[in-house]
Chains A and B, each alone.
Chain A
Amino acid sequence: MGDSVASVDSPGRTTDVDFALVGHQESWRAAADVLGVLRGPERTPLPDDEIRDILPWIPPRAVCHVDVGSIAGAKARGLYIDSFISPDRLEADYIRENIARVRAAAACAIRAGAKIVSLGGFSSILIEGNFDQLPERHETVFTTGNTLTVGFIVQGIEKMCALEGRDLRRSTLLIVGATGDVGSGCARCLAPLVRRVLLSARNVDRLRRLAAELEADGVEVEVATPLQQFSAQADIVICAASLASPSLLLGRIAPDAIVCDAGYPKNLSPNAEIPGARVFFGGLGQITGGLRFTPDFHGVLNRHPFPDVVQGCLLEGMALALERRFEPFSQGRGFITQERVDEIEAIAARHGIRLAPLYNADGPLWPAQATIGSALGSRESASISSTDFTG
Chain B
Amino acid sequence: MELAVDLKRSLSNECTSLSLSALVWQDVLAQAMTGELVAAMNFTALSEICDHPAEVADALEHAQNEKGHAAAFAAEGRKIGVEVPSNVEAKHWKRIREAFQRRITERDFIGCLIVQEIMLESFAVASYARVGKVAAGSLGKTFASIAAEEEEHIGHAMAILRAERALDAQRFDDKLYRLHLEVMTILAEMLARDCSRGHCEVCHDSCVKPSLSEICLTTAELRGASLQQYLKTLDMLGLPGEVTLVWVTQLPV
Contacts and interface: CB of A to CB of B under 8 A. Distances in A.
B227 A54 contact: yes
Contact of A108 (B241, B246, B253): B241
Given A38-B245, A56-B224, A12 B174 contact: no
B240 interface: yes
B240 A8 contact: yes
B177 A47 contact: no
B170 interface: yes
B253 A46 contact: yes
Nearest to B242: A62
Interface string A41-73: 001001100100110111101111100000000
Interface residues of A, number: 32
A50 B248 CA distance: 13
A10 B247 CA distance: 12
A8 B224 contact: no
B17 interface: no
Nearest to B172: A8
Interface in B112-168: none
Contact of B246 (A6, A59, A65, A79): A6
A58 B240 contact: no
Contact of B228 (A2, A39, A57): A57
Given A2-B250, A46-B249, A47-B253, A61 B224 contact: no
A289 B65 CA distance: 60
B223 interface: yes
Interface in A54-110: 54, 56-59, 61-65, 79, 108
A295 B242 CA distance: 10
B173 A8 contact: yes
Interface in A249-266: none
Contact of B250 (A6, A50, A54): A6
A47 B192 CA distance: 12
A13 B232 contact: no
Contacts of A53: 220, 223-224
Contacts of B216: none
Contacts of A63: 242, 245
Contact of A59 (B220, B231, B239): B231
Contacts of B232: 59
B242 A50 contact: no
Contact of A39 (B220, B239, B242, B250): B250
A1 B181 contact: yes
A40 interface: yes
B235 A59 contact: yes
A111 B2 CA distance: 55
A61 B241 contact: yes
A389 to B, nearest CB: 15
A57 B250 contact: no
A35 interface: yes
Contact of A8 (B170, B220, B231, B253): B170
B243 interface: yes
Interface string A1-32: 11001111110110000000000000000000
Contact of B242 (A35, A43, A47, A64): A64
Contacts of A40: 250
Chief secondary structure at chain A's binding surface: mixed
Contact of A61 (B177, B193, B245, B253): B245
Given A8-B239, A46-B253, A58-B231, A38 B223 contact: no
B250 A12 contact: no
A295 B245 CA distance: 12
B230 to A, nearest CB: 10
A35 B241 contact: no
B91 to A, nearest CB: 22
B75 interface: no
A37 B13 CA distance: 51
A12 B242 contact: yes
B221 to A, nearest CB: 8
Nearest to B231: A59
A62 B241 CA distance: 6
Nearest to A44: B253
B123 to A, nearest CB: 13
A6 B246 CA distance: 6
B225 interface: yes
A6 B220 CA distance: 24
A57 B240 CA distance: 18
Contacts of B177: 6-8
Which interface residue of B232, B239, B241 has the most chain A CB atoms within 10 A? B241
A58 B230 CA distance: 10
Contacts of B223: 53-54
A5 B220 CA distance: 26
A192 to B, nearest CB: 45
18 contacts: A5-B246, A6-B177, A6-B250, A8-B240, A8-B243, A10-B242, A10-B246, A40-B250, A54-B220, A54-B227, A56-B224, A57-B224, A57-B225, A57-B227, A57-B228, A59-B228, A62-B245, A79-B242
The 6 closest A-B pairs by CB, nearest first: A61-B241, A57-B224, A53-B220, A8-B173, A62-B242, A12-B240
Interface of B: 170, 173-174, 177, 181, 193, 220, 223-225, 227-228, 231-232, 235, 239-250, 253
